[in-house]
Structure 1
Amino acid sequence: MSSGPALVSILRQGDILVASVHTALDDAEMVRFQEDLVEQIGQYRARGVIIDVAALDVIDSFAANTLRSIADIARLRGAHTVIVGIQPDVAFAMVSLGMGLAGVTTALDLEEGLAHLAGIRAGTRSGPSGG
């Protein structure tokens, strides 16, 4: 990635990784994000992953497919994924275009995403449901 402002930040909070996407990513940047996140899941033995997309005003089909792939890869590596912060207009456009995130858990915001992962850890599934 460039030497300018970070496009994505990945922070560790215990055994949870919180990835915040700060700006729209092109296809190559999405692939790099996926590779970096998957690598860190193993490196930090993450049990949960939250991807915050609140800053995005568009999620195209490639980005939606990449987010689904990240969730699938994370699950195969033993981590649960929650996508948080999808803006109302983005959700509307995605549904209108038939681009869902089927099989991927979504939540309104970071707080709800963390609560969902805590519920999984505690053996309950309260909070947001798969979207």
Structure 2
Amino acid sequence: MERVPILKLGDVLIVSIQIDLQDQGVLALQEDLADAVVESGARGVIIDISAVEIVDSFIGRMLATIASISRVLDAETIVVGMRPAVAITLVELGLSLGGVRTALNLEKGVALLEDRDNARAVAVPR
């Protein structure tokens, strides 16, 4: 079984899914990502799905589950690079990606996390 690499950039973890994930690969990714968030103290997780052409309900639920796990571990999840066909499929399947923010590309995903951090810094009284 091929593992999806998890890259660390500052306090953000980046996952770029470049292979067709089977059910076991998805479960391994969830586990690996949860471990990586804890070990690194990451504040954000960005999942790049630009190479994903087809999604099913299991993959859609996986994205929502990863977001929930990350949120419990105090990290925000952003999915980037979603193709229009993937978005249409998720909507047709009736899948709501609650807790998952989206951005068009990696650069915009990182900017979303920076905006969140800037908003937190302003909201914290000194």
TM-score, normalised on structure 1?
A: 0.86
Cα shift readout 1:73-117 (whole Å, capped 9, x = no counterpart): 101111011011110111112212212313311111101100000
Aligned residues: 120
Partner Cα separation in structure 2 for residue 10 and residue 32 of structure 1: 12
Structure 1: unaligned runs, 5 residues or longer: 125-131
Question: What are the Cα deviations for residues 46-69 of structure 1, in whole angstroms up to 9, with x where unaligned?
Answer: 011000011000111111111111
Q: CA RMSD in A?
A: 1.3
**Once superposed, which parts of structure 1, at least 4 consecutive aligned residues long, lie more than 3 Å away?**
none
Which residue is 2:69 aligned to?
Answer: 73
1:33 paired with 2:8, answer: no
- In the alignment, what sits opposite 2:4? 8
User: SS at the partner of 2:61?
Assistant: helix
1:43 corresponds in structure 2 to 39
- Pick which of 36-45 and 85-94 moved more: 85-94
Distance in 1, matches of 2:112 and 2:55, equals 23
The match for 2:84 is: 88
Q: Give the distance between the partners of 1:80 and 1:10, measured in 2 at CA.
A: 15
**Hey, what's the Cα distance between the residues in 1 that align with 2:63 and 2:19?**
15
| Identity level (%) | 43
State the Cα deviation string for residues 15-68 of structure 1 (Å, max 9, x = none): 000011001101110000110011000011101100001100011111111111
Higher helix share: 2
Give the letter for the 1:27 counterpart.
D
- Taking the aligned partners of 1:100 and 1:24, their CA distance within structure 2 comes to 21
Alignment match, 2:124: none
Q: For structure 1, which segment, 59-68 or 91-100, has the greater mean C-alpha deviation from structure 2 after superposition?
A: 91-100
1:62 is matched with which residue? Answer: 58
State which drifts further: 47-56 or 97-106. 97-106
Letter in 2 for 1:49: V
Report the equivalent of 2:98: 102
Q: Residue 78 of structure 2: SS of its match in structure 1?
A: strand
